[in-house]
Amino acid sequence: MEDHFSRQINYLRIAITDRCNLRCRYCMPAAGVPLKGHDDILRLEEIVTLARAAMRIGINRIRLTGGEPLVRKNVVTLVRELAKLPTLKEISLTTNGTFLAGLAAALKEAGLSRVNISLDTLQKDRYRYITRRGNIASVWQGIRAALAVGLTPVKINVVVARGFNDDEILDFARLAMEEPLHIRFIELMPIGAAAASGCSFLPMAEIKGRIEAVYPLEPLTDLATNGPAVNFRVAGGRGSIGFISAISEHFCNRCNRLRLTADGKLRPCLYWDGEIDIKGALRAGATEEELASIFARAVSLKPAEHHMERGWRQARVMSQIGG
Ligand SMILES: Nc1nc2c(ncn2[C@@H]2O[C@H](COP(=O)(O)OP(=O)(O)OP(=O)(O)O)[C@@H](O)[C@H]2O)c(=O)[nH]1
Ligand SMILES: C[S@@+](CC[C@H](N)C(=O)[O-])C[C@H]1O[C@@H](n2cnc3c(N)ncnc32)[C@H](O)[C@@H]1O
Ligand code: SF4
Ligand code: SF4
């Protein structure tokens, strides 16, 4: 369905849980966030019903996120049920990768198309510092498993902050030379815990400049995605590189998405705080057609662009929105 700014909205990001086994400094406070009660979270069959309704307004790609989507029980069953939706073209997943090794084969078999895996450092001790508890070896096992079972292209999400991990930009670029991985450098957004984390913004032009000084980049258009990244091939490399510059060069003019939070709110935009309580309508007995009209209303409320320069005054943190 087209929105008021002639953008085709065909992609739904579903946060299937607000829980996470990690506490990445730019995403969540150390103590975590107050979690929703069991009854407040959408049940798996409710997620499938809402996804089916979303298909009626032209959604044909779904990404599961969170929180950490792989801590949700029965995530494989959810993927299997979603994969049965006749007009769905793709189901993908954004994960921290720590539980992926044990689930990759089952997820692939259930119908998952591909995974994006978050990894902000290649250093063991720094990984534990950034995530406040994670074990980097488990992420690498997840990456290897994803490649082995064909959850490809495997994309690695690297949020870059000055003085935090920017000394590893070239190490990540080298990874794109050596491995069949798509490495995406992401500008830090001032959402949720980011401001209080002490992490400081590094503009994409600087990140890209540092890479290009060593590794020549050629524009790449054939990567299967309409997402926010601008992509490049690294001359002579096995992988590729993408840049997600949400602040310095935002991509809102080609926005294609809606978000559904774990507690059943539709968010027309990552940044704006306007939310529609679609869970309330679902539990009050709305028909699929009525639910589809709520999705259509969310599309009609999409803003032209974000205003992250105004900072963040909302109660939600990134893990509650799904990124
Ligand atoms: N500003 C903004 N950032 C987004 C949006 N969608 C995703 N991001 C950010 O982009 C980064 C990567 O997100 P992913 O979950 O991997 O999703 P994606 O980049 O859309 O995925 P692909 O379909 O593989 O391109 C995260 O930091 C997200 O918060 C968006 O609509 N607006
Ligand atoms: C909120 S996480 C949820 C999925 C999963 N737990 C993971 O980490 O991939 C989704 C994405 O948002 C990114 N993210 C979180 N906070 C961010 C921020 N302040 N700015 C930019 N990206 C952020 C994460 O790095 C991750 O790639
Ligand atoms: S970025 Fe993902 S893994 Fe890290 S705390 Fe947020 S939700 Fe958890
Ligand atoms: S910030 Fe909002 S309008 Fe911009 S790309 Fe993200 S969801 Fe779309």
Classify residue 4: in a domain, yes or no.
no
CA 198 to chain CA mean position, Å:
22
Count of domains in the chain?
1
Instruction: Give the pLDDT band (50/70/90) at residue 226.
Output: low
Q: At 168, which amino acid appears? A: E
pTM beyond 0.95, yes or no: yes
113-136 pLDDT tens trace:
999 999 999 999 999 999 999 999
Residue 316 has pLDDT above 60, yes or no: yes
Model pLDDT, residue 227: 82
Cis omega before residue 86 (within 30°)?
Answer: no
Model pLDDT, residue 185: 98
Residue 224 has pLDDT above 80, yes or no: no
Classify residue 184: in a domain, yes or no.
yes
Instruction: Give the pLDDT band (50/70/90) at residue 225.
Output: low
Q: Is the Cβ atom of 28 under 6 angstroms away from ligand 3?
A: yes
Ligand nearest to the CA of 3: 4
Classify residue 227: in a domain, yes or no.
yes
Model pLDDT, residue 22: 98
Classify residue 85: in a domain, yes or no.
yes
Q: What's the 323 CA to ligand 1 centre distance in angstroms?
A: 6
Residue 54 has pLDDT above 70, yes or no: yes
Q: What is the CA radius of gyration of the chain?
A: 19
Q: Beta strands 230-234 and 240-244: pairing type?
A: antiparallel
**Structural domain boundaries, residue 281:** 11-321
Distance CA 255, CA 242 (A): 17
CATH code (residue 88)? 3.20.20.70
Q: Which of 24, 96, 259, 270 to mutate to test ligand 1, by most ligand atoms within 8 A of the CB atom? A: 270
248-298 pLDDT tens trace:
999 999 999 999 999 999 999 999 999 999 999 999 999 999 999 999 999
Residues 6 or more apart in contact with residue 229 via CB below 8 angstroms: 184, 223, 242, 243, 244
In 3D, which of 299, 322, 308, 321 has the Cα closest to residue 7? 299
CA 306 to chain CA mean position, Å:
17
83-101 pLDDT tens trace:
999 999 999 999 999 999 9
Distance CA 112, CA 306 (A): 30
Classify residue 79: in a domain, yes or no.
yes
Residue 169 has pLDDT above 70, yes or no: yes
- Tell me the percentage of the chain whose pLDDT exceeds 70: 98
Q: What's the 69 CA to ligand 3 centre distance in angstroms?
A: 10
- Which residues define the annotated binding site for S-adenosyl-L-methionine? 26, 67, 118, 189
The C-alpha angle 197, 188, 225, rounded to 5 degrees, equals 145
Q: Is the Cβ atom of 130 under 6 angstroms away from ligand 2?
A: no
Three-class SS of residue 320? Answer: helix
User: Quick one: which H or E segment has residue 61?
Assistant: strand 61-65
The average pLDDT across 306-319 equals: 90
Nearest CA to ligand 1 atom 32: 270
Distance CA 100, CA 97 (A): 5
Classify residue 89: in a domain, yes or no.
yes
Q: What's the 306 CA to ligand 1 centre distance in angstroms?
A: 14
Model pLDDT, residue 198: 87
User: Quick one: which H or E segment has residue 137?
Assistant: helix 136-149
- Which residues define the annotated binding site? 13, 20, 24, 26-27, 63, 67, 94, 118, 155, 189, 252, 255, 257-259, 269
Q: Is the Cβ atom of 244 under 6 angstroms away from ligand 4?
A: no
Classify residue 6: in a domain, yes or no.
no
Model pLDDT, residue 120: 98
Distance CA 166, CA 171 (A): 10
Query: Which structure tokens are listed for 101?
Result: 């090794």
Q: Is the Cβ atom of 12 under 6 angstroms away from ligand 1?
A: no
Distance CA 127, CA 134 (A): 7
Classify residue 2: in a domain, yes or no.
no
Sequential DSSP letters for 81-132? HHHT-TT--EEEEEE-STTTTTTHHHHHHHT--EEEEE---S-HHHHHHHHS
185-212 pLDDT tens trace:
999 999 989 988 889 999 999 999 999 9
Sequential DSSP letters for 191-208? -GGGGGGT-EE--HHHHH
Residues 6 or more apart in contact with residue 25 via CB below 8 angstroms: 130, 132, 193, 197, 198, 199
